[in-house]
Chain A
Amino acid sequence: MGASTESVAFDKPAREQAADTFAMWIFIGSEAMLFGAILLVFLIARISYGPAFAAASHHLSLPLGTLNTVVLITSSFSMALAHLFGNRGRWRASTWSLAATALLGLVFLGIKAAEYTMEFREGIAPVLGVPFTYDGPDPVHAEFFFGLYFAMASLHAVHLIGGIVVIAGMLVMWSSATQSSRLRRVRAIGLYWHFVDIVWVFLFPILYLINR
């Protein structure tokens, strides 16, 4: 017993793997509450200041937002591939898929950064005391919209960065890990990555697509 389990608490690796997955699901539940709280704030504000929010949403870049959604969904696909290849013992392919996932994550962040820059230039980024120049109706609540947009998109980006760092760390320690622990890690990070992806799938329509 114990030879292939990481925790002394478990007798069998299978049991430990089940526990891993279970823990990841609970963690995701916890994360869902985090995003859920902020989404709820958004929802309440959206109901209260509907027209202002709808108008402000037009100032976000729909093409870049759509592109980012595609990038992120593709990254989820390559993450799924990494898991699939890992399951079949094709570790080379799995490694490449993981690297591709992280890379697509970086692409997403790059596009997001470009978007932020554009928004700063346009003067609709209500952060760091940058002058807020917005010519639509109800600028006060439009500013509220952009505040929420920056808070939510940045929180999502931080989660993505976390995922990329973990993938990078996994790849660095790849060679020293046993096959079963590799599989465990891919499974865990995969769940997390898909979750972060799904969060974006929620954020995209409510931020970019209201009243289009």
Chain B
Amino acid sequence: MNTEALSSSSYLGEGAGPAAWLLTTDHKRVAWLYLISLTAFFFLGGAMAVLMRIELATPAGDLVSDDVYNRLFSLHGIIMVWFFLVPSIPATLGNFLLPLMIGARDLAFPRLNLASWYVFMLGSLFALASVVFGGVDTGWTFYTPLSTLYANGFVSMAALGVFTVGFSTIMTGINFIVTIHTLRAPGLTWFRLPIFVWTMYATALVMVLATPVLAASLILIVLERMFGIGIFNPALGGDPLLFQHLFWFYSHPAVYIMILPGMGVVSEVLPCFSRRPLFGYKAVALSSMAIAVFGFLVWGHHMFVSGQSAYAGVLFSFLSFCVAIPSAIKVFNWSLTLRKGEITFETPMLYALFFLALFTFGGLAGLFLAALAIDVHVHDTYFVVAHFHYIMVGGMVTAYMAGLHFWWPKMTGRMYPETWGRIAATVTFLGFNLTFFPQFVLGFLGMPRRYHTYPPEFQFWHILSSAGAVVLAIGYLMPLFYLGWSLFRGARAPANPWRATGLEWQTASPPPPHNFDAMPKVSRPAYDYAMKGLQHEKFSPHKDEA
């Protein structure tokens, strides 16, 4: 393939020096800045996970010391939650695609967008610097009074880092909300928006409204550590459970920040490779909003055995069963989308189908945790670990990989190698299940989480899980290589390689600097895939009036 510079009409051709990238306000380039930094964080956090799994292959703590192990899982959590999962799809794919999907030249506030990346880097590197000094050993949850009075790590640094990253999250959230409200192309009504945009909207709302509560709790922790104010310290009249309430008031909605965008990606990919419109479009769109709202009402289900009132426990349990409903609606709609389709199994589709399976099982496992009497037994065990990894990794990361492959041609102008993609997707799926399914059994057996050593009778399941982690790591490393390779050697991508609907496919791959040569108009609903009998007809862009 000719590696001649891409045509100057592409956003990639607009200046190549570091300054052209680091000072860009083009949302597509900012997306790349995020993509590169998030990839680094993902593999850093992943490496810590692999180290932990190797340690856990034997019951004794023989590879690393207890202090090191505790720092590993704390940082694994902090990095994966705040420096990867929360920004993952919104800051990379969302940043790149949102203006393209709604037919805008850029986000509403391009400079704010770039600033958000700098703030993100500042905060995350600040938090990481705590590792250099000696690490953090509070777990990602920063529970008081461990974090305020007893932890010997650099808790304030890490907390301030996370706090700073919160600003970047809020900036992105505000930018997305305003963009979706004000910059939709003519004719692109709310109910013609792709579901991806809907989920970005719901995510942005949660970002803007939940992140400040995390900020409040982190501020109070830092005030307590540095200035001795005792809001969470019982000796000074405070209450340690107050922190848990504040923390989960943020962190439960944050779980939806971490999964809604994945739902958005899958809602794009499944219809495209089934060549059918999304089943129940409105139900899927509105259930995203329902999830965003309900997500604020269930934080207490993290605290059933904490000593909070039993009646509060019953109420939170009930609400938690309710929040499962909109997710269930989505799963039914995605499954039925396949019906009477013309299904092909390219890499994005494989990832999307694996998402569907893993998200379903992870979500069903959530019912066990919502049921009070069972939660008493499995709370703070590997059952919980398995549950949220099924949602966060099996769900969100799998969807992220689906989206990355799906829009890779759009972002780079190159095709990735299809065979390698399919192999990697399958390896990931198998490795994931091998890693995390045994953890459900471990949890039921009573294996508590965050244990550096464990009783020997649990070893069988731990060995399976550790073996799976290695397979999973290979599954995630493969795309790093072949996608990197395809950047320079991949086949040139046409504007619309998947014959997909959506405005982003109507412009060149890669798109020109301001996205569209002529600003698009929209007159048709989303997912207007050709019906039976027309599936071989070339998909016609509906740029013109129908």
Contact = CB atoms under 8 A, between A and B. Distances in A.
Given A9-B99, A147-B231, A34 B110 contact: no
B237 A141 contact: yes
B182 A41 contact: no
A22 B176 CA distance: 12
B238 A144 contact: yes
Contact of A49 (B211, B212, B237, B246): B237
A26 B174 CA distance: 7
Contacts of B242: 41, 44
Contacts of B178: 19, 22-23, 26
A141 B238 CA distance: 8
Which of A26, A27, A52 has most chain B Cβ within 10 Å?
A26
B219 A155 contact: yes
Interface string A1-27: 000000111100001001100110011
B182 A19 contact: yes
Contact of B237 (A18, A19, A140): A140
B182 A33 contact: no
B47 interface: no
A29 B170 CA distance: 11
The SS class assigned to the B binding surface is: helix
B404 interface: no
Contacts, number: 119
Contact of B212 (A8, A10, A33, A128): A33
Contacts of B107: 7, 9
B171 to A, nearest CB: 9
Interface string B184-226: 0000000000000000000000001111110111011001000
A143 B209 CA distance: 30
B341 to A, nearest CB: 36
A155 B219 CA distance: 9
A143 B230 contact: yes
A96 interface: no
B236 A30 contact: no
A142 B236 CA distance: 9
A64 B210 CA distance: 34
Contact of A22 (B181, B208, B212): B181
Contact of A34 (B109, B181, B216): B216
Contacts of B246: 37, 41
Interface string A42-67: 00100001001000000000000000
Nearest to A15: B182
A127 interface: yes
B227 interface: yes
A37 B177 contact: no
Contact of B174 (A18, A23, A34, A37): A23
Given A26-B208, A34-B213, A143-B236, A9 B106 contact: yes
Interface residues of A, number: 37
B183 interface: yes
B238 A147 contact: yes
A127 B223 CA distance: 9
B229 A29 contact: no
B228 interface: yes
A177 interface: no
A18 B182 contact: yes
B237 A29 contact: no
Nearest to A145: B237
Contacts of B34: none
B257 to A, nearest CB: 14
B219 A127 contact: no
Contact of B229 (A7, A23, A26, A151): A151
Nearest to B170: A30
Nearest to A149: B229
Contacts of B179: 9
A16 to B, nearest CB: 8
A119 interface: no
A148 B231 contact: yes
B106 A8 contact: yes
A38 interface: yes
Given A9-B179, A9-B183, A151 B219 contact: yes
A149 B107 CA distance: 40
A129 interface: yes
A18 B246 CA distance: 34
Contacts of A36: 213
Interface string B507-538: 00000001000000000000000000000000
Contacts of B219: 151, 155
Interface string A144-171: 1001101100010000000000000000
B249 interface: yes
B236 A147 contact: yes
A127 B227 contact: yes
Contacts of A22: 178, 181-182
B106 A127 contact: no
30 contacts: A10-B108, A19-B109, A23-B109, A23-B175, A23-B177, A26-B178, A27-B170, A29-B209, A30-B174, A30-B211, A30-B212, A33-B212, A34-B215, A36-B213, A37-B217, A38-B220, A41-B231, A126-B230, A126-B236, A127-B227, A127-B229, A128-B228, A141-B237, A143-B237, A147-B230, A147-B231, A147-B236, A147-B237, A148-B231, A150-B229
Given A9-B183, A41-B246, A147-B231, 8 more contacts: A23-B174, A26-B174, A26-B178, A27-B208, A41-B231, A52-B237, A128-B228, A150-B229
